[in-house]
A and B are shown apart, each in its own frame.
Chain A
């Protein structure tokens, strides 16, 4: 009973905030509506008894949306919604696509032969999650981590205008980096 109340108290705002993402005429409001929706989803995951995953969703999504808001405001037209702005484009086509996808998903839910539950929920899901990530999947996670870091470094190197030759001279032997903004380590 209590779980049902909490479920609906989170599910309805999650969907409503998701709808509002496309109704707001301000990029900041749309981003934070999306964050509201995702926080409610994090609450639903907590309700499933997956404490770690639920709280991590809240943590990651808050950071992600806070940073994303800045980029969305930078890149989207009319970010503040001071002039008419809409998040929806190609409205008719989008309606058709969405209705078709929804119909397929609902049909899938109703028609799929769902298996009966086998086994018991784990006593400590956080520990089991850690063991399965860091046990059998250790190699995958390590490779993934390295690949992610390499991607981040490569992206920054490609995106930055100034490299080490600009900072430390043609022979990379200057004692102090020549930066437009002074400060930080060693200066």
Chain B
């Protein structure tokens, strides 16, 4: 059972998530730069390259926001702001070691409910500027959502099934001995792919892809763009971080305290995703849809069946 975190944790949470997002974006920038311009000459250049996302953020802060003709500002703004808000609300149930800002009895469902706010957010962002390419991006994300959500829900349900509880603290406690990833590898793999899809990042960046001139983010400039794309990194950090309590034993581990294990494991998952992204092309959604429904759904169902049999006989 997770203990309740002190009240100041509520204030620290968005800052900690933002710091993790900046670190992840920095790591990604270093890898991108060494792929484009060769390895960094020294630690100083590597550091400069890692700061590229921060420089970009500062540039966006002073950039003129863009207005389009006959746009729907209210909905567009709502969509942009909803991306980081959804990420932080989902992060509220993320245990840091063994204590979370909140550990409701239905924490897993709460996480799921908050992350689907991204569906509304991306579509609204695409709808807002009254621009065809942005709208195409928004529609792409809904198609992507329909593809990833079914296997995703079955994967997180499998973890809840293994623990016999929807409370995240109890899911972590159930992995005191054996981590769920050991006997639920299928669910873990599906979860990681849907984490990327949820953050529309890496191989699932089709909604904001270059072939649609930036898709849902096509018309965003200035602070709007910073909030939307920054929110996307937050979403990636939160969804990747949630795989730690679900499958990787949360704060459980020898020697080090719980919070350090959470940090290490989250960093490892993020590093895996950021490095692995380079090996994968951006997927078109009709392709992923077919794979998701004809391969991943049966895989997760079989995985859930195995876990259910183990739990019933255990």
Chain A residues in the interface with B (C-beta under 8 A): 26, 28-29, 32, 35, 51-52, 55-56, 58-59, 62-63, 65-67, 69-70, 80, 82, 124, 126, 181, 183-185
Give B107 Cβ to nearest chain A Cβ, in Å.
9
Q: Which of B70, B123, B142, B166 contacts A82 (CB 8 A)?
A: B70
User: Are B120 and A66 in touch, CB under 8 angstroms?
Assistant: yes
Take A32-B75, A80-B130, A126-B105 as given contacts and tell me if A70 and B139 are in contact as well, using a CB distance cutoff of 8 Å.
Answer: yes
B100 to nearest A CB, angstroms?
Answer: 15
For B109, what are the chain A residues with a Cβ–Cβ distance below 8 Å? 52, 55-56, 59
Beyond the given pairs A32-B124, A184-B289, 17 more chain A to chain B contacts, judged by CB atoms under 8 angstroms and listed by A's residue number, are A51-B104, A51-B105, A52-B105, A56-B109, A59-B113, A62-B113, A62-B120, A63-B119, A63-B149, A66-B116, A66-B119, A66-B142, A66-B145, A126-B105, A181-B286, A184-B287, A185-B291
For A185, what are the chain B residues with a Cβ–Cβ distance below 8 Å? Answer: 290-291, 294-295
Q: Does B106 contact A (CB under 8 A)?
A: yes
The interface bits of chain B over 31-46 (1 if a CB of A lies within 8 angstroms of the residue's CB, else 0) are 0000000000000000
Tell me the residues in window 68-96 of chain B with beta carbons closer than 8 Å to chain A beta carbons.
Answer: 70, 72, 74-75, 78
**Given A62-B113, A67-B142: A28 and B127 interface contact (C-beta under 8 Å):** yes
Residues of chain A within 8 A of B124, CB atoms compared: 28, 32
A32-B124, A80-B130 known; A56+B113 contact, CB < 8 A: yes
> Cβ of B290 and Cβ of A183 under 8 Å apart?
yes
Size category, B interface: 20 to 34
Residue of B nearest to A54 (CB): B106
- Check B113–A51 contact: CB distance below 8 A: no
State in angstroms the CA–CA spacing of A56 and B74 once bound together.
27
- By a CB distance below 8 angstroms, the chain B residues around A62 are 113, 116-117, 119-120
Closest to A125 in B: B105
Task: Assess whether A35 is in contact with B120, with CB atoms less than 8 Å apart.
Answer: yes
Question: Bound state CA distance, A155 and B290, in angstroms?
Answer: 18
Q: Complex: how many Å from CA A124 to CA B166?
A: 12
Most buried by B among A35, A63, A80, A82: A63
- The CA-CA distance from A29 to B104 in the complex, in Å, is 32
Tell me which residues across on chain B come within 8 A of A35, comparing CB atoms: 120
Q: Which residues of A contact B193 (CB under 8 A)?
A: none
In order of increasing CB-CB distance, the 5 nearest A-B pairs are A184-B290, A183-B287, A59-B113, A66-B119, A58-B113
The interface residues of chain A, by DSSP majority, are classed as helix
| Chain B contacts for A126, CB-based, 8 A | 105-106, 166
Chain A residues whose CB sits within 8 angstroms of the CB of B105 once the complex forms: 51-52, 124, 126
- A-contact bits for B154-177, CB 8 A (1 contact / 0 none): 000000000000100000000000
B106 touching A55, Cβ below 8 Å: yes
Q: Report B102-122 residues with CB < 8 Å from chain A CB.
A: 104-106, 109-110, 112-113, 116-117, 119-120
Is residue B146 within 8 Å, beta carbon to beta carbon, of the partner chain?
yes
List of A residues within 8 angstroms of B130 by Cβ? 80
What chain A residues lie within 8 Å of B287 (beta carbons)? Answer: 183-184
Is residue B284 within 8 Å, beta carbon to beta carbon, of the partner chain?
A: yes
Name A127's closest neighbour in chain B (CB-CB): B105
Cβ–Cβ contact A66 & B123, under 8 A = yes
A179 to chain B, nearest CB (A): 9
- Which single residue of chain B is at the shortest CB-CB distance from A35? B120
Closest chain A residue, CB of each to CB of B146: A67
Nearest opposing residue in chain A for B285, CB measure: A183
Cα(A28)–Cα(B70), bound, Å: 14
Q: List 15 A-B contacts (CB under 8 A).
A: A32-B78, A32-B124, A51-B105, A56-B109, A56-B113, A62-B120, A63-B149, A66-B120, A70-B123, A80-B130, A126-B166, A181-B286, A183-B284, A184-B287, A184-B290
Task: Please tell me if the beta carbons of A52 and B166 are within 8 angstroms of each other in the complex.
Answer: yes
* List of A residues within 8 angstroms of B104 by Cβ: 51
Contact of B120 among A26, A32, A124, A181 (CB under 8 A): A32
Contact across chains for A29 and B110 when beta carbons are under 8 A apart: no
- A28 in contact with B290 (CB, 8 Å): no
* B294 touching A55, Cβ below 8 Å: no
The residue in chain B whose Cβ has the minimal distance to the Cβ of A184 is: B290
